[in-house]
Structure 1
Amino acid sequence: MPHSLFSSLRRRALGALLASLAGALLIAAAAQAQDNSTLRIGYQKFNSLNILKGSGALEKALAPQGVRVSWHEFAAGPQLLEALSTGAIDVGHAADAPSVFAQAAGKPVVYLAAEQPYPRGIGLVVRQQDPLNDVQDLKGKRVATGRGWNAQYLLAVALQQAGLSYQDITPAYVNNAADAIAALQSGSVQAATLWDPFLAAAERQPGLKNLRDGTGLTNNRTFYLSTARFADSHKALLRIFFSELAKASQWANDKPGDVAALLAPQLGINADVLEVASQRRNYNAVPVTPEIVAEQQKLADTFQGLGLIPRKLNVAEAVYPASVLP
C-alpha cells in the first residue's frame, strides 16, 4: 500500500507539474481579457487556500460585489510565483524559500501576509537500513532536494548546525517530492528533503525515518503574495479575501480531522496522514512583522552564501507597505 501510495503521488505530481506549466501559459494568454470581475487565485495542494477553495465561502462573499473567483492549481511555489509575476494570477501563496528566490530573480511580487511557524512540516528523511543516525552522518552522501525549496533551506542550516557545509554533501536536484521519495527508496540517494503532506506520508512508510525536522532551525512559513500593482487597486477586495481566509483557517486549526476528510479525495492521500500534517500546523495569517522580515533575510543571506542567489537581497523591499488584513 505505501509503495502504491507514493507511485500515485509521483504520477499526480508529474501531472500537476505539466498542468501547472500548461495552465500558466493558458492563463497568461487570456490575462488581457480578464477584468476586475474575476479574482484569480493560485494555490497548491494541502494549504489554507486549498481549504478555502473547498469551502466555497469566498465565492459567496464576493458574489454581492459582482466578482467571480477562478482557482488555478500549481505543483509548487516557483511555478505559482512565475504566473503571479507575469499577471496570469492575482494572488497566491508560496513557502519562504521560493518567495526569496522570486525576489532574487527580479519578479515583481510582494508579501501581503504570513502564516504561523510550521517547523515540523519539513524534514530530512533517510532509510532505516542505512547507518545514518544524525545530520553529521550525511557527510559525503547524496541528498535529493529541489532548488529553492523550503526543505533545501532546512538541509543547509541543519548541516551548518552539525558543523558541516553544503559542500559536504552531493545534492541530487529533483522537481517534486515524489521524485525525491523515489530516489530515496531506490537507494540512488541516501536522504531526501520533504515537506508535508509528503513528509507525514514518509514518516508512516515502513523503512523510512525523519532524521531532522525544522524545529529550532527554521520557522518554515507560508506567505501570501501578490503584485504591488494589483494590491494598490484592490485593497478592499483583498480584505474580503483575507477575511474569508481567516475563517477557513480557524476552522482548519480547530478541526484537523475535518480538514483531512475534505482534502483526502483531492490529494489521493489517506486522511490519517493528512490529519497528522494538519495537527502540527497553524493556518492563521498574520502581518509581515520586522521579525518575520529578519527570518526571511537570514534565509536569503544563507542562499547567497551557498552561491544560489547571486546578489545581496533586501527582503524588506518586497513587503507591501499597506495592510490588507481585516
Structure 2
Amino acid sequence: MTGCATSLGSTRSGTVPRTEGIEQPELLVGALPIVGAAPLHLAAQEGLFQQAGLNVRLQQVASGAFAVPELLSGKLDITFSNYPSLIQNFAGGGPARIIAEGSRAAPDNFAVVAESDSGLNEAADLAGKTVGVNAFDNVATLTTNAQLQTAGIRPDQVRYVQRGFPKMTDALLSGDVDAAFLPEPFLSAAEVQHGVKRLVDPTAGAAAQIPIDGYGALAPLIEKCPNTLRAFRSALREAQRRCQNPSTLRTVLQRDLKIDERISAVLSPSRYPLSTDVTSLQRVATLMELFGNLQAPLDIGPMVIAA
C-alpha cells in the first residue's frame, strides 16, 4: 500500500482520522476487479486504511458468491460481495452481515449482450437461449429475471451457465453462450474490442438504481471489534467520496484495476453511496422473494449494521 502519486495523477482530497483502540488491525478483505469495488482499491492503494490505523490486504475472489463461503470459513475478515449471496446466508440463520454499501446501479452499468450478428435484439429473444452469468442466484440472474418477466419470458425459459467475468466475453465469442451478463469494465471492453451489442439493461425499470454490492463481515467480528469496523468504514467512506469524481475514478480504474485508457474513458461509472440505506437494500430481498431465491418475506434490517 502506498500513498504516492503516479503518472496518472494523485486522487488525494482529504485524510482519514485515526481510530483509537483498534482491536484487530490486520484485515484480509475479499475484492473483485470491477467498477463497483473501485473505492476499495483506492483506499488500499493510497493508504487510507493505514491512516485509519489498519493494515488491509486485498484478496481477489472470483465472484461475490464465492467470496461468502471464504468469509464464513474464516479465510476472509471482510468481503466485497453482491447482496443476494449475503442475504441468502442471513435468511438461513447465518452470521453474515452487511457493514457498508459498495455501489448502486446507474444507467448502462450492466447489460446482457450478444454478438452483433447473433440475430438476438431484445429480452424476448432470450427464450430458449443460454446466458452466461458469473454466479447463480446473484445480482446477474436476479436483475436479468426482472427484465425477462417484463418481456413476458419466464426465468426457466432461459438456461443460465456460470462463467467468470474475465472469461465471459471469450465464452460469448466462441459460442459457448448465446448471450452474456457483463458489468463494467468488461461491458465497455467487449463493446470497444469486439463490437458486441446490448440486448437489455438488467438494472432498468423495476431494478433501476438497485443496490448491487457491498461489504460483508461476520457477526462475531462486528461484536468483538467495533473500533476495527469503525476504522474500516471511515477509510472506505472517504474512498467512496473520492470515486464520485469522474477524474479520480478514471485514475483508479487505470492504475489499480489496470483498465485500458480507452475503456475507462467510455465506461459508465457506478454510484457510490456514503451511507447505508436499509430501505433501498430491502428492494434486493423483495426481488429475491419474487423470483424464488427466498422462500418467504425477509426483513433485512437486523442484518444491516448502520454506521
TM-score by length of 2: 0.81
Q: 2:270 aligns with which of 250, 257, 281?
A: 281
SS at match of 2:104: coil
The answer for the alignment partner of 1:183 in structure 2 is 171
Distance in 2 between residues matched to 1:290 and 1:310, nearest whole Å: 18
Distance in 1 between residues matched to 2:251 and 2:139, nearest whole Å: 26
Distance in 1 between residues matched to 2:78 and 2:190, nearest whole Å: 31
CA displacement at 1:105 relative to structure 2? 5.7
Q: For the Cα contact (< 8 Å) 1:123–1:154, is it kept in 2?
A: no
CA displacement at 1:265 relative to structure 2? 4.7
Say if 2:37 is the partner of 1:49: no
Letter in 1 for 2:183: W
The answer for the alignment partner of 1:262 in structure 2 is 252
SS at match of 2:142: helix
The answer for the alignment partner of 1:12 in structure 2 is none
Q: For the Cα contact (< 8 Å) 2:24–2:228, is it kept in 1?
A: no
CA displacement at 1:317 relative to structure 2? 6.2
SS at match of 2:300: helix
Say if 2:99 is the partner of 1:112: yes
Unaligned stretches of 5+ in structure 1?
1-34
Distance in 1 between residues matched to 2:50 and 2:31, nearest whole Å: 15
Distance in 2 between residues matched to 1:180 and 1:315, nearest whole Å: 34
- Relative to structure 1, the CA distance from residue 198 to residue 136 in structure 2 (aligned partners, 3 Å threshold; closer, same or farther) is same
SS at match of 2:243: helix
Letter in 1 for 2:261: A
The answer for the alignment partner of 1:201 in structure 2 is 189
SS at match of 1:159: helix
Pairing 1:234-249 to 2, within 5 Å after superposition: 234-249=225-240
Distance in 2 between residues matched to 1:225 and 1:78, nearest whole Å: 12
Distance in 2 between residues matched to 1:134 and 1:296, nearest whole Å: 24
CA displacement at 1:261 relative to structure 2? 3.0
Runs (4+) off by over 6 Å: none
Deviations 1:53-92 (A, max 9, x none): 1111111220xxxx53333221211222112112222222
SS at match of 1:217: helix
Pairing 1:1-326 to 2, within 5 Å after superposition: 36-46=24-34, 47=37, 48-62=39-53, 67-104=54-91, 106-119=93-106, 120-145=108-133, 146-171=135-160, 173-213=161-201, 214-218=203-207, 219-254=210-245, 256-277=246-267, 279-293=268-282, 295-304=283-292, 309=293, 311-312=295-296, 314-316=298-300, 319-320=303-304, 322-323=305-306, 325=307
Higher RCO by CA contacts (8 Å cutoff, separation 6 or greater): 2
- Relative to structure 1, the CA distance from residue 73 to residue 315 in structure 2 (aligned partners, 3 Å threshold; closer, same or farther) is farther
Unaligned stretches of 5+ in structure 2?
1-22
> Percent of aligned pairs with the same residue?
23
TM-score by length of 1: 0.76
Letter in 1 for 2:243: A
Q: For the Cα contact (< 8 Å) 1:116–1:285, is it kept in 2?
A: no
Deviations 1:185-204 (A, max 9, x none): 12232211111211121232
- Relative to structure 1, the CA distance from residue 37 to residue 138 in structure 2 (aligned partners, 3 Å threshold; closer, same or farther) is closer
- Relative to structure 1, the CA distance from residue 179 to residue 101 in structure 2 (aligned partners, 3 Å threshold; closer, same or farther) is farther
- Relative to structure 1, the CA distance from residue 113 to residue 199 in structure 2 (aligned partners, 3 Å threshold; closer, same or farther) is same
SS at match of 1:285: coil
Deviations 1:121-144 (A, max 9, x none): 221001111222211111222222
Distance in 2 between residues matched to 1:181 and 1:101, nearest whole Å: 28
